[in-house]
Amino acid sequence: MIAARPSRWLKAWFGRVVAGRVRATFGALRVRGLDELQALVALQPVLFVSNHTSWWDPMFLIYLSTRLVPLDGYALMDARNLRRRAFLGRLGGFGVDLDDPADRSAGLAYTAGLLDRPRRGVWIFPQGRERPCDERPLDFKPGAAVVAGRAPGCAVVPVAFRYEFGSRERPEMLVSIGRPLPRVDDVSAAVAAQEQAVLAELEQIAAFVASRTGSTARGADGGSPHGFAAVLERREPWLGRLLERLLAWLTR
């Protein structure tokens, strides 16, 4: 097992790098559940469980913990990946050899030990590897459920990711953060509950995407009726919009 060696200054610097990459890559970043999470982290440590669909997923957790909800953040990684990218250990990554039972057991104990104070968050992707967003079942592994059982003071929060290409040039990152799950002592039942909760957050994203037609796209206050807030939204360049309209007029 490879323990994390977090560096506060490196986290702050890399958080700025990630923020710049997010702004350069995405037309919008929309997040649901931020206000509730901000209140929760002040009271309890948080174990985040989520689907894993893209290289961008762990980048979001850095963005979250350095820009949106200040957290002392950690993430479980495959030990081989951490050896290849050792700098991630300075950002809160810790490595476990999931094929080695002894290492896996030590890693789960280490993870539970991190969840010992408010404003600390640990991220686990129970699928174990990147998979398409629409693949079912999610096939969660039991590690996160075991950790939750060993850290009874933590809140288990489901998170879902989806990346959407629509009518604009740049894609959107859509993130739905759910409410803490009820405590479940049986590991098999806890795995099922975590997977179902992440599926429910994926359905929240799907409903939001489907709703964005005409007047159904916004609520009465101009925001999303599904609770998604635009953390980042790039306006299309005015010159590009003007040229597009001019071209449309000339080719009527």
**In this predicted model, what pLDDT tens digit does every residue of 100-114 receive, in sequence order?**
999 999 999 999 999
Mean pLDDT of 14-42: 95
Give a yes or no: residue 1 inside a domain. no
Domain span at 245: 8-250
For residue range 140-195, list pLDDT tens digits in order. Answer: 999 999 999 999 999 999 999 999 987 778 999 999 999 999 999 999 999 999 99
Strands 155-164 and 228-233: unpaired
Give a yes or no: residue 134 inside a domain. yes
Structure tokens at 152: 């009874």
Amino acid identity at 83: R
Give a yes or no: residue 110 inside a domain. yes
Alpha-carbon span 238 to 153, nearest angstrom: 51
Q: What is the CATH number of the domain that holds 65?
A: 3.40.1130.10
Mean pLDDT of 86-100: 93
Give a yes or no: residue 2 inside a domain. no
Give a yes or no: residue 72 inside a domain. yes
* Residues forming beta bridges with residue 90, ordered by sequence position: none
For the chain, what is the mean pLDDT?
A: 90
Give a yes or no: residue 200 inside a domain. yes
Taking CA atoms, 60 is separated from 1, 83, 104, in Å, by 24, 21, 25
Give a yes or no: residue 104 inside a domain. yes
Give a yes or no: residue 202 inside a domain. yes
Residue 246 has pLDDT above 70, yes or no: no
Q: Which pLDDT belongs to residue 221?
A: 45
pLDDT band at 220 (very low <50, low <70, confident <90, very high): very low
Q: What is the DSSP secondary-structure string of 83-140?
A: HHTGGGGGGTEEEE-TT-HHHHHHHHHHHHHH--STTEEEEE-TT-S---TT-SS---
% of the chain with per-residue pLDDT over 70: 89
- Three-state SS at 182: coil
Q: How many domains does the chain have?
A: 1
Mean pLDDT of 194-220: 81
pLDDT band at 98 (very low <50, low <70, confident <90, very high): confident
